[in-house]
A = this chain, B = another copy of it.
Amino acid sequence: MKLDELYALLRRRGVLWPTAEIYGGAQGLYDYGPLGAALKRRLERAWATWFVGRSPDYYLIEPSEIVPEAVVRASGHLENFTDPEITCEACKSAFRAETVLEKVRPNGIDGLAPSQIEEVVRTHQVHCPNCGSSALAVPEAFNLMFDVPFGVARTERAYLLPETAQASYLAFSRMWEVGRKALPLGVAVVGRAYRNEIAPRQVLFRMRTFTQAELQIFFDPAAPPGRLGPLAAEKVPVLRAERRERGEGSTERVPAADLVAGGLPEFYVEHLVHMLRFLRDVLGYPSERIRFFEKSAQERAFYNRLQFDAEVHLESLGGYKEVAAVHYRGDYDLRRHSEGSGKDLSISRGGPERLVPHVLELTFGVDRNLWALADVHLVRDGERAVWKLPPYLAPVSIGVFPLITKEHRPFAEQLARELLAAGVEAEYDEASSIGKRYARMDEAGTPFCATVDGLTVGAGPEQGTVTLRHRDSRAQERVPSAELAGRLSASLRHPWPPPA
């Protein structure tokens, strides 16, 4: 679906809407309604199972999203977490430089200093998108963090975290004590991050507060986590930085082993494959719509040695969009926090030798993927809209309907209660025709519906059976109601990750 159609449907169904909608909304802020909130919880759980569930030495924590200034000074965000902007001296508008220069610099402006951006503006004779004036200026970079100074005099400087990762670095030494005192050690956070975006846009893709799911794997580079093993032949869709620089913009499907042979570390490639499998096998994005976009040394974030962004091609947003990434951050973070805090974060390797652990970061945008799950799986099928979510992600697992409310309600209500007690997310619905109830469940992504009718409550051979209807095939079958929970359990079960 196109953006407008998809967004309208998601709003109407209460999946999401702009924050403070009755006040005209607020740019870059969204609320999740009941379906959206339930889908988000399931998506977060799927992520945690797949990534954190790989190893008993990987832990999920829940840190504060506010940190004192010393933390973001040490991390480099106070200095470097900026977004170049372009202002118009005629109409006083301000824009993200990247947006204004999108057409003349399709690969973005990552790594360019304000003076270099100014040169791009002059060279390409760029005009103000608002008033058309050529009086454009490129001021000093604008820091994207929100500061929330504490205290009566607001003198204790503190910041909303721009990435959850920092909280995991802060927790490293405590987690080292709490855990087995062995590497690799994983510390994961599913939490909020905050950015004062100059120009929020594309719905859930550039928000001012958003949810990240990030796993930081601390490891010894002499014994990095991840061996390809049987995954060596898995084809990874990559767009290498070098090829892009030569002007070749197409994605290659390269066997994982060849990426290693070509110079990428094996542990890194193994995690590209693990991410690929999550996007493809768990979230159900079609293979041909996924690619790993390598950022060059100039383009990547200041802390990264290697950075491949996982992108998905989204019809609603007209192209490939970043939904996750695999970052090799080296020992940058723990080294900086050792210096900043004065606490030695190195660990003993046995003997006098000490090591500042390296970090492999798996980052995942929860909101962006929620949108991608709608873009990819919410489709028109003739008159109806069907959200073909993988069953274990669907907010409601089964709709339970009485065919005739008065006669079949007690049985249907009881069945819904029993399914809930058995851990199956069942929703009872008696409003309007069965056809309309199917349509509502289709839009909500509900994979199954069970209808209670005269045969169910009658004394014949089909007593106690219900009509089980499958969302995608629209197939219907007769199933004893007592067998429902068991019948559904396999498809409602989330795929289990291979061990790390």
B71 touches A340 (CB 8 A): no
For residue A171, which residues in chain B have a CB less than 8 angstroms away from its CB? Answer: 17, 21, 31, 33
Over the window 177-211 of chain A, the binary record of Cβ atoms lying under 8 Å from chain B Cβ atoms (1 yes, 0 no) is 11010000000000010101010000000001100
- Among the interface residues A29, A66, A428, A496, which one has the most CB atoms of the partner chain B within 10 A? A66
With A and B bound together, what is the CA distance between A70 and B21 in angstroms? 12
A142 CB–B CB distance under 8 Å: yes
How distant is A216 from chain B, measured CB to nearest CB, in Å?
A: 14
A82 to B23: give the CA distance in the assembly, Å: 24
A173 at the interface (CB under 8 A from B): yes
Partner of A173, one of B22, B62, B148: B22
Q: Does A454 contact B (CB under 8 A)?
A: no
Chain B residue, CB-CB nearest to A95: B152
Q: Is the CB of B150 within 8 A of A66?
A: no
Q: What residues on B are CB-neighbors of A13 within 8 Å?
A: 178
The answer to whether A23 touches B340 (Cβ under 8 A) is: yes
* Interface SS, A side: mixed
What's the nearest-Cβ distance from chain B to residue A338, in Å?
9
The residues of B that contact A22 with a CB separation of less than 8 Å are 170, 173, 337, 341, 343, 345
Pair B209/A68 contact, Cβ less than 8 Å: no
Stretch of A53-61, A107-115, A282-290, A470-478 contacting B (4+ beta carbons < 8 Å): A53-61
Q: Any chain B CB within 8 A of the CB of A94?
A: yes
Cβ of A6 under 8 Å from chain B:
no
8 Å CB interface, A1-56 against B: 12-14, 17, 19-23, 26-34, 36-38, 40, 56
Chain B minimum-CB-distance residue to A340: B23
A460 in the interface (beta carbon within 8 A): no
Cβ-defined partner of A150 (8 Å) among B65, B154, B160, B196 = B196
CA distance A343 to B141 in the complex (A): 39
Please determine whether A208 and B150 come into contact, CB atoms closer than 8 angstroms: yes
Closest Cβ–Cβ distance, residue A23 to chain B (whole Å): 5
Please measure, in the bound complex, the distance between the C-alpha atom of A431 and the C-alpha atom of B349, giving whole angstroms: 20
Q: Does A64 contact B (CB under 8 A)?
A: yes
Report A204 CB to chain B, min CB distance, Å: 12
* A66 lies within 8 A of B23 (CB): no
Tell me if A85 is interfacial: C-beta within 8 Å of chain B. yes
Q: Which of A134-190 contact B (CB under 8 A)?
A: 142, 146, 148, 150-154, 156, 158, 160, 167, 170-171, 173-175, 177-178, 180
Residues of A within 8 Å of B, CB-based: how many?
76
In the complex, what residues of B have CB within 8 A of residue A493's CB?
421
A423 CB–B CB distance under 8 Å = yes
Judge whether A87 is part of the interface by a CB distance below 8 angstroms: yes
* Residue of B208, B421, B423 touching A496 (CB-CB under 8 A): B421
A66→B38 CA distance, assembly (Å): 21
Chain B residue at minimal CB-CB distance from A169:
B22
Instruction: Find chain B residues with CB under 8 A from A343 CB.
Output: 22
Q: Are B61 and A37 in contact (CB under 8 A)?
A: yes
A30 contacts B64, C-beta separation under 8 Å: yes
In the bound complex, do residue B151 and residue A32 qualify as a contact, i.e. CB atoms below 8 Å apart?
no
A170's contact among B20, B28, B151, B170, by CB below 8 Å, is which?
Answer: B20
CB <8 Å contact, B19 and A67: yes
Check A66 against B152 for contact (C-beta < 8 Å).
no
Interface presence of A226 (CB below 8 A): no
Does A255 sit at the interface, judged by CB under 8 A? no
A30 CB contacts on chain B under 8 angstroms: 64
Given contacts A151-B198, A198-B151, A209-B66, contact A32 B61 (CB under 8 A): yes
- What would be 22 A-B contacts, judged by CB atoms less than 8 Å apart? A19-B64, A19-B66, A19-B170, A20-B170, A23-B340, A23-B341, A26-B64, A26-B68, A31-B64, A32-B62, A33-B59, A33-B61, A33-B171, A33-B178, A34-B59, A34-B61, A36-B62, A66-B209, A94-B152, A148-B160, A150-B196, A421-B493
Given contacts A65-B192, A94-B151, A421-B493, 6 further A-B contacts (CB under 8 A): A20-B67, A21-B173, A22-B345, A23-B71, A31-B61, A34-B61
